[in-house]
Amino acid sequence: MPQHEQAMRRHFHQAAARRGFAVAPAQEAAVERLARLAAELARPAWTFPKPPRDLYVWGPVGRGKSWLVDTFYEGLPTERKRRLHFHDFFRRLHDGVTAPGARRDGQSAVDSALDELIGDSKVLVFDEFHAHDAGDAMLIARLFRTLLDRRITLVTTSNYPPAGLMPDPLYHHLFEPTIQLIEQRMDVLDVSGPVDFRRLAAPRSRDGGRRFATGLCLPPGGTAPADAGLALPSPAEATTVPAHLRELPARAVRGELVWLGFDALCETATAVSDYLALAERFCTLVLDGVPPLAEASADGRQRFANLVDVACDRDVRLVLIGADPLTALPDGPVLTRDLDRTASRLAMLGRPA
């Protein structure tokens, strides 16, 4: 058995033991495949004619996908590697392609932006890859083709199987060529299993904190703890805050806290890049006027799900004021996995007795 494969397998089990658990049966096949990939990457390129096959790790929320690829990444001895959350990577790629002075001949613009983002890295790890925005479908398709054609080893996680990407039936056909490319050129690993690890322990931020899990869900007019700093904004506090490429109306900005309305943030043409910009500046995000998601538009539901993703992933304290957003959910498959993930993450927030 190759030395590097043994070392990576041992690294996985030691990493699990340090956190007080064992590798779950549903994760074993992924651990074996990632260990084999580590051995393949350690071989001199001249010893095999083709690069290793890329990996697409998918499963429901809470099955340890991020832990699997993070542990793999940490165990790779090479320095020519890059790990990025897909939201952040795609925002920066989009900025690079559309920046003033960027080349306008399509593939060259993507190549130039990729050069800036990944440099000479030979291994790229994406966390939480998804495709919902029909307007971004072509750029994501070009990104995947370019990465695969450059022989950059790609490892990505997703809550969707490849066939479930771009789930809106109005736009799914636009993404079918990319789905076919993924299925042809990537090994697809299903880590579905009965254990939701998020329910076993609250997520920790990089500095050991649990800011997201200190968030709250409050009814309209509900009272927050006295030390929560959540006094209702006065009209004089209304202002605007810079997001990505726009200004957003805010009911208040108080140091590292921003107070926004659901309609202004989720029912207007905002994007994940705007939520990332807010997360970079603010530690607490208050969202009021939250309706049951059954009463929101389809786009509003999707934006809300993306906002919760960003707040959790960036460990931003999220305070929701309004109705329980997850009551009377709409029927249909389009947002099922996103809303499952959203429900799991909102379950971490405190609620008044």
Residue-wise DSSP of 275-340: HHHHHHH-SEEEEEEEPPGGGS-HHHHHHHHHHHHHHHHTT-EEEEEES-TTSSPPPSSTTHHHHH
The label of the residue with tokens 């809300």 reads 304
What token pair was written down for 304? Answer: 């809300």
- What region does 24 belong to: left with phi over 0, alpha with psi -120 to 50, or beta? beta
Measured CA to CA, the distance from residue 91 to residue 236 in angstroms comes to 33
Instruction: Give the dihedral sign, CA 189/194/199/201.
Output: negative
What token pair was written down for 190? Answer: 């299903």
The burial class, CB within 10 Å (0-12 / 13-18 / 19+), for 65 is buried
Listed in sequence order, the residues at least 6 apart from 198 whose beta carbon sits closer than 8 Å to its beta carbon are 61, 62, 344, 345, 348
Measured CA to CA, the distance from residue 68 to residue 45 in angstroms comes to 25
Chain-centre distance of CA 198, in angstroms? 15
Residues of the chain with pLDDT under 50: 1, 202-209, 332-335
Report in angstroms the alpha-carbon separations of 333 from 60, 169, 327, 345. Answer: 14, 10, 17, 19
What pTM, to 2 d.p., does this model score? 0.67
Neighbours of 272 (CB within 10 A): 22
Pick the closest to residue 160 from 124, 131, 194, 203 (CA basis): 131
Query: What angle in degrees, to the nearest 10, is found between the helix axes of 298-313 and 336-346?
Result: 50
pLDDT at 22: 82
pLDDT at 259: 95
Report in angstroms the alpha-carbon separations of 95 from 13, 128, 248. Answer: 39, 20, 19
**Residue 179 gets which letter from DSSP?**
H
- What region does 110 belong to: left with phi over 0, alpha with psi -120 to 50, or beta? alpha
Pick the closest to residue 1 from 52, 30, 27, 38 (CA basis): 38
Per-residue pLDDT tens for 300-322?
A: 988 898 899 888 877 899 999 99
Measured CA to CA, the distance from residue 223 to residue 214 in angstroms comes to 15
pLDDT at 208: 45
What token pair was written down for 323? Answer: 């109705």
Measured CA to CA, the distance from residue 62 to residue 198 in angstroms comes to 5
CA atoms lying within 13 Å on the CB side of residue 43: 14
- CB contact at 8 A, 124 and 72: no
**Residue 123 gets which letter from DSSP?**
E
- CB contact at 8 A, 62 and 344: yes
